[in-house]
Chains A and B, each alone.
Chain A
Amino acid sequence: MASSATALRTTPLHEVHRRMGAKMVDFGGWDMPVQYSGVLDEHHAVRRSAGLFDVSHMGEIEIRGPQALELTNYISTNDASKLAAGQAHYAGMLYTHGGFVDDILVHKVSQEHFFLCVNAANQDKDYEHIRAHNIFDATVKNASDQYAQLAIQGPRALQILQKLTKTELSGIRYYHFVDGEVSGVPARIARTGYTGEDGFEIYFAPREALRLWEEILNAGAEFGIKPCGLGARNTLRLEAKMALYGHEIHASTLPWEADLAWIVKMDKGPFVGRESLQAAQEKGRTRKLSGFEMTGRGIGRDGYEVLIENIPAGFVTSGGPSPTLNKNIGLCYLPVEAARPGQKIQVVVRGQAVDAVVVETPFYKRPK
């Protein structure tokens, strides 16, 4: 394997991943575990019981001050004034031209304090973007170095984490969070995730990462919890049709093309990108993110071309096997008129046009 000239960034759990035999990959400049026991095994563990992910590479940006709300609302598409303290939501951060800088989670800690979780590879760009648009009485801090983040996901996540905290976890509703303790470590405990399962994402001081990692694995041992890598994280989020920056969304993607109109609140007042969105809205949507299933033999993967009756129609943004459904699935952009379930398409798999069909998404929804 080729060695890289520039040093990769690492999380506080880097040594543990290596020691536990995880297979490591360069993920956007970070040396991260792609798998432990195997992608399929880890994927099924999360759907059936629980999995633990080191997601400390994710960035954290804190916005504070008398006008923290105004700044947060100005740099994001969702309406942060609707959040209660202890509530979070998904949002887009847009360029003036309307494309995505990043997709983010906005947590309202208090009226004067918002906590943003952003993509690892985008954190520096995001920080600069927010600073550049800070015309308010608010401060912006890139606090990524001050947080480790673990995601504990799956139907058993609550039971496992409950063994380690006095916080009543069943009282935390989906997309809400509580500042509490896990194993005596002060932690922000959020009922959020990127797998389509119930679960929690916890933020805490990096020096405690090793201890919490081990305590959660021990607490979950009786339920068969598995340490998981980015490979399973990707198959899980794809089944749940959750967007990945750089794949479904880019600097050139408009929110509604990616089926994300629900995170854009046009009437909330001015925000970066709003005028461009308004102009684009008048022109109407030309393409739409669509889910497909392969009906022929082959796996449609990221970047493969999509045809409709032999005419180029788009590209696969994310694709691969779905371990839960035991089918080969994917997402692609299609002209709006073709973006309806039942539409026959073809995916060019290594020079061969292989049949596929547009299907309803998400591919997987957890049983309630």
Chain B
Amino acid sequence: MYPENFRYTKEHEWVNVEGDTGTIGITDHAQKELGDIVYVDLPKAGSMTEKGKTIGSVESVKAVSDIFSPVSGEVVAVNELLATAPEKLNEDPHGSAWLIKIKLSAPDEIKDLLTAAEYQVYVGAE
């Protein structure tokens, strides 16, 4: 269910680090909790973010949920697909419906995040 090579936050984001870039998304647990996602608000490419800072929001029919950045760095790509097809977040949250890519300014931050196994336990117990 939760890819082994990703790291996770307790706020239900994931990050997949390849080289010096981290791809950010929300977890399958998060999309299930939200229900039908109808709107995604994301930062612009080129903006800077810090770990724990709000980088946008995901809205379902009934609720708004903040997205917190799991890492610090510069936003280098934004998933344009989600502007026109936010429902993809319900269908493929760990794949094609990634949110943004960040060029990491502090790669060590990853170590503080949950592993797939730890996240699984965390959401199982929630």
Contacts and interface: CB of A to CB of B under 8 A. Distances in A.
A102 B36 CA distance: 31
B35 interface: yes
A265 interface: no
A312 interface: no
B82 interface: no
Interface in B45-95: 57, 59-62, 64
A235 B61 contact: yes
A28 interface: no
A347 interface: no
A320 B61 contact: yes
Interface residues of A, number: 19
B2 interface: no
Contact of B39 (A23, A38, A299): A299
B11 to A, nearest CB: 14
A321 interface: yes
Contacts of B39: 298-299, 321, 328
User: Main SS of chain A's interface residues?
Assistant: mixed
A40 B36 CA distance: 7
B62 A234 contact: yes
Interface in A7-51: 23, 34-35, 38-41
A23 B38 contact: no
A41 B61 CA distance: 11
Given A1-B126, A350-B57, A320 B35 contact: no
A38 B126 contact: no
Contacts of A231: 35, 61-62
B61 to A, nearest CB: 4
Interface string A234-249: 1100000000000000
Given A39-B36, A41-B36, A328-B39, 6 more contacts: A23-B35, A39-B61, A40-B61, A231-B62, A299-B38, A350-B41
11 contacts: A1-B126, A38-B36, A40-B36, A234-B62, A299-B38, A299-B39, A299-B59, A301-B64, A320-B62, A321-B38, A321-B61
Interface of A: 1, 23, 34-35, 38-41, 231, 234-235, 298-299, 301, 320-321, 323, 328, 350
Interface of B: 35-36, 38-39, 41, 57, 59-62, 64, 126
